[in-house]
Every structure is written in structure tokens, then in C-alpha cells.
Amino acid sequence: MRIFAFILTCLGGVNWLTIGALQYDFVAGIFGTQANIFSRLIYVLIGISSVYILLVTIFSKGRLKLFGYKKKKPQPTLKQEEDF
């Protein structure tokens, strides 16, 4: 979920870059106009993903883990096995 939200947020940033630098709305260019239902859906999805990324970053105290990997438990060494 986080990686999908991150990608959508990056695409939204690129869209804003093209609007600011080139005066071209990339999403509206693909779907016709800004008023098109598909354009509006993409805008809403990008907005929701931006809020999600923001909240995840705040609640994880600034650490945004895009991939949900877990830390592996250390394997017991031979000395630890002998103690059992």
C-alpha cells in the first residue's frame, strides 16, 4: 500500500512540475479535460495517497518504510546452543 501511495504521490509531483514549468496538465492531457471524471478520480487518488504518506511518516516518527520488511531475529551461535 505504501509503495502504491508513494508512486501516486510522485506522479502528482511530476504533474505539478509540468503545470508550473510548462503550463501543461499531464493528467488532464491524458484524459481530455480537468472536469473529466477520470481526471478527477486520479486527482482524488493522488490527494488521498499524499495524506496517507504524510500520516504514515508522522506516526512512524519520520521513518517511511516503503517495503514492509521485518527485521530478522539473530540466529543462535554454537555457544548459545551449548547452553541449552
Q: Could you state, in order of their start, the residue ranges of all structural domains in the chain?
A: 2-59
CB 5 within 8 A of CB 52: yes
Rounded Cα distance between 14 and 24, Å, is 11
Q: Return the SS3 of 40.
A: helix
CB 12 within 8 A of CB 4: no
On whether the pTM is more than 0.85, the answer is: no
The residue among 61, 57, 42 whose CA lies nearest residue 2 is 57
pLDDT at 76 over 70: no
pLDDT at 35 over 80: yes
The per-residue pLDDT for 33 is: 86
